[in-house]
Chain A
Amino acid sequence: MALFRYPRPLPSEITPRDMYLSRRSLIGGAAALGAVSATADAATLQTHPGPYSGNLTPTPHEDVTHYNNFYEFGMGKADPATQSQTFHPLPWTLEITGLVRKPVRLDVEQLLRSPAIEERIYRMRCVEAWSMVIPWDGIPLATLLKDADPDPHATHVAFESIVRPAEMPGQTEALSGIQWPYVEGLRLDEAMNPLTLLALGIYGETLPNQNGAPLRLVVPWKYGFKGIKSIQRIRLLDHEPPTTWNRLAPDEYGFYANVNPQVDHPRWSQATERVIGARSLFGATRQPTLMFNGYGEQVADLYRGMDLRKNF
């Protein structure tokens, strides 16, 4: 399955939402390619409903795009939206290297036109005890990894984000102690799980800069910080890779970071979560946090026999 590597762009797959762009200019594939790469605005993705979406009501687009953590653009929840506007996500090349038989270099502009892109509406649970429901558009990571043909010795997958201090003001914040690039990792079987998604968009459009453009990881049964954004390199390894938050505070953020209401963060309880989207101070709600964020049926087997208190 390598459809996304040699896509046949159809006009319908690349029509931007922006009404001021004339539809006629987009009929030619070349013109459309230019339109996608030249505008920082969200462009419509050709997507179709995928599995595992369940019966969830998405959090308003405004909240998904204006309340999140992306420390490359600042420490505040509003910083990513306000400070990411000069970031240029395209052109972009994604590398899949390391213990693979066929190293891959993917042109993300082509990936954005892949017919393999599907919608997954997932719960998103932040380690800070708040949650959203986000309609992602993306390609299962397993599809891309299979394409690179992992070596039998590969046991883990390491992800690396981008370093661009000129466009990412948070990377010049010396006090935080964060080493750039942001790095994350999964066990290979976690990476191959059908839930694990390489997201290229939200709400049927390309990812806004603040949400990790042009592509990011989504692992819905883990805390949000595992969802590394603006990924440049994926490497297959035979050992567990270091991960950014674990390096900063190993007693607070584990490698696994599975959502678990029974294992608290040292500073707060993980039993419940604030539901984002209330808008009014006195209308906000809390709900119980679900084991594996409600995806136990799909992933509990990955951790059978493991002490989840130790491997938090």
Chain B
Amino acid sequence: MRARLTPAVSEIPGVLKRHWRLVLYPVGMIPAVWLVWQGQHGALGADPVNVFERSLGLWAFRFLLVCLALAPLRRFTGLNLLRYRRLTGLLAFFYASLHLLAYVGLDHGFDWSVLWVDMTHRYFIILGMSALVLLIPLALTSNALSMRLLKRRWKFLHRLIYPAAILAGIHFFLSFKTLNSVSAPYLAALALILLSRFLPRSRTGNGV
């Protein structure tokens, strides 16, 4: 028998293993809380709304990339973290929604005349909005009940993440005036993840 500290402490790893969601969802929201805190304390610089809005978008894109990377990660390394796909996908949706809210509310003050023109005329905005719209059905069906009800169609539906990621990638690229060393690694990661689907499966891999 292992040496025990106190019963309560020794149970923590087991509890965390079973209820990791209780930890990881709040952890995933730390960047959002941190950004709001910084924004209220003048730590986002001279143009806080712009930094806030862009940072939320970047976090959405980061979680989307991690979500997409989990399948190729298992295929090429055998490391199976697929159970975190729902977590990372939902966090991507959470940040994308906050990103939209910041753009509509904080940046444009719900000025619908400006927003309507943006959403109907500007390919940059349309691309970002489309990516978010594609994520909505995925977020809504990211539960066991939907999986049971939709059966094989669920998997087909959730392939929408690929067009969503491509649209988000172009939107992200366009959010800078030029290509640069900040945006290039993210775009390269997206390209790599998407291309990896077309690589031959390894003999030992399980396939996804």
Contacts and interface: CB of A to CB of B under 8 A. Distances in A.
A55 B122 CA distance: 36
B52 A281 contact: yes
B179 interface: yes
A75 interface: yes
Contact of B108 (A176, A280, A286): A286
Interface stretch (A22-30, A85-93, A232-240, A266-274): A266-274
A312 interface: no
A276 B46 contact: yes
Interface in A242-295: 248-249, 264, 266-269, 271-272, 274, 276-282, 284, 286
A75 B180 contact: yes
A266 B124 contact: yes
Contact of B106 (A63, A276, A284): A284
27 contacts: A62-B46, A66-B46, A75-B176, A75-B182, A77-B45, A77-B47, A130-B47, A173-B180, A175-B180, A175-B181, A176-B179, A177-B178, A248-B178, A266-B124, A267-B174, A268-B122, A269-B118, A274-B47, A274-B49, A278-B49, A279-B42, A280-B39, A281-B38, A281-B106, A284-B47, A284-B49, A286-B109
B46 A67 contact: yes
Contact of A175 (B123, B125, B179): B179
A271 B38 CA distance: 28
B36 interface: yes
A274 B107 contact: yes
Interface residues of A, number: 33
Contacts of B184: 175
A76 B48 CA distance: 14
Interface size on B, as a range, is 35 or more
A139 to B, nearest CB: 28
Contact of B117 (A67, A269, A280): A269
Task: Pick from B47, B176, B181 the residue with the most CB of A within 10 Å.
Answer: B47
A168 to B, nearest CB: 15
Interface string B113-128: 0100110001111000
Contact of A78 (B45, B114, B178): B45
B1 to A, nearest CB: 54
B44 interface: yes
